[in-house]
């Protein structure tokens, strides 16, 4: 089946630094990808919709300058958390929609210290 | 997308059937009923989806009420690996809106040996 590969699976960074998370569709082309954030014991919250070759669409309350999304090719979308702070520590998950249902990455556990 | 209501948690014994309910009284005629599950520290995975008729696949069965205001995900023989958070989500047809998948709180299923 369709696979979405997400890297890294976990990352620890210092406050004030930036972290890039990659999401690749391995055997299909994804013109659209979705980025979610999940805090402990909570559900997934949609952050933004990534569109190949155009600007991402952000959900209400999500800072576009802090969470930079780039979708430069049909198989790669990246999320960069800029100037990370401890409150940005979370589980970040990407998703794409090949034919049929949605496919999700395995997630990235970000810890900002 | 219309809202769904699920119990916060359920328990089951291993090798017994599990019925996970979902209420969606405001479902529209074109909304599909999707089920995803999320194992600890992983991204969600597709389980099953349907529109009007009951559906079966190798993972589960989906029973949809005649008025479509509720549905039930059925795991025929629960295993310890089925312990996860199960999400019931309504989605319009592929041609509608932006393709976003919005998660509710889901049902945390515990499976006892």
* B101 to A102: CB separation less than 8 angstroms, yes or no: yes
Angle at A104 between CA B91 and CA B37, to 5 degrees: 65
**The predicted structure's pLDDT at residue A39:** 96
Q: To the nearest whole percent, how much of chain A has pLDDT over 90?
A: 86
* B99 to A97: CB separation less than 8 angstroms, yes or no: yes
Q: What phi, psi does B103 have (nearest 5°)?
A: -95, 140
**The predicted structure's pLDDT at residue B76:** 95
Q: Which of A57, A103, A109 is nearest residue B98 as measured by Cβ atoms?
A: A57
Average pLDDT in chain A: 94
What sign for the dihedral angle of Cα B55, B60, B65, B67? negative
Of the residues A31, A36, A44, the best mutation for testing chain B's interface (the one with the most B CB atoms within 10 Å of its CB) is: A44
Average pLDDT over residues A64-75: 93
Count CB neighbours of A5 within 10 A: 14
Q: Which residues of A touch B38 (CB under 8 A)?
A: 44
**The predicted structure's pLDDT at residue B97:** 52
* B49 to A101: CB separation less than 8 angstroms, yes or no: yes
Contacts for A41 with CB less than 8 Å, ≥ 6 apart? none
Rounded distance between C-alpha atoms, residue B23 and residue A5, angstroms: 33
Q: Which of A18-22, A78-82, A103-107, B27-31 has the lowest mean pLDDT?
A: B27-31
Q: Which residues of chain B have pLDDT under 70?
A: 1-2, 93-98
Contacts of A49-55 with CB under 8 Å at 24 or more apart are A49/B98, A49/B99, A49/B100, A50/A77, A50/A79, A52/A77
Rounded distance between C-alpha atoms, residue A29 and residue B47, angstroms: 22
- Tell me the pLDDT tens digit for each residue of B6-29: 999 999 999 999 999 999 999 988
Q: Which residues of B touch A57 (CB under 8 A)?
A: 98
Q: How many CB pairs under 8 A join A and B?
A: 53
Rounded distance between C-alpha atoms, residue A93 and residue A9, angstroms: 10
């Amino acid at each position: 089946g369709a696979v979405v590969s997400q890297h890294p699976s976990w990352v620890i960074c210092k406050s004030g630094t930036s972290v890039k998370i990659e999401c690749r569709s391995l055997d299909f082309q994804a013109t659209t990808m979705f980025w979610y954030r999940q805090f402990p014991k909570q559900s997934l919250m949609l952050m933004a919709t990534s569109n190949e070759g155009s600007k991402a669409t952000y959900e209400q309350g999500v800072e576009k300058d802090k969470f930079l999304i780039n979708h430069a090719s049909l198989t790669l979308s990246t999320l960069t958390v800029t100037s990370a702070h401890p409150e940005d520590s979370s589980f970040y998950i990407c998703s794409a929609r090949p034919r049929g249902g949605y496919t999700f990455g395995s997630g990235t556990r970000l810890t900002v210290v | 997308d219309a809202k769904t209501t699920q119990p916060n948690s359920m328990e089951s014994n291993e090798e017994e059937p599990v019925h996970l309910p979902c209420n969606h009284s405001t479902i529209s005629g074109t909304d599909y009923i999707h089920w995803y599950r999320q194992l600890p520290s992983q991204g969600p995975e597709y389980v099953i989806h349907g529109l009007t008729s009951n559906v079966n696949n190798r993972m589960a069965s989906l029973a949809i009420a005649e008025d479509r205001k509720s549905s039930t995900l059925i795991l025929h023989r629960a295993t310890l690996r089925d312990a996860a958070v199960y999400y019931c989500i309504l989605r319009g047809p592929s041609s509608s809106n932006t393709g976003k998948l919005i998660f509710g709180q889901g049902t945390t299923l515990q499976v006892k040996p």
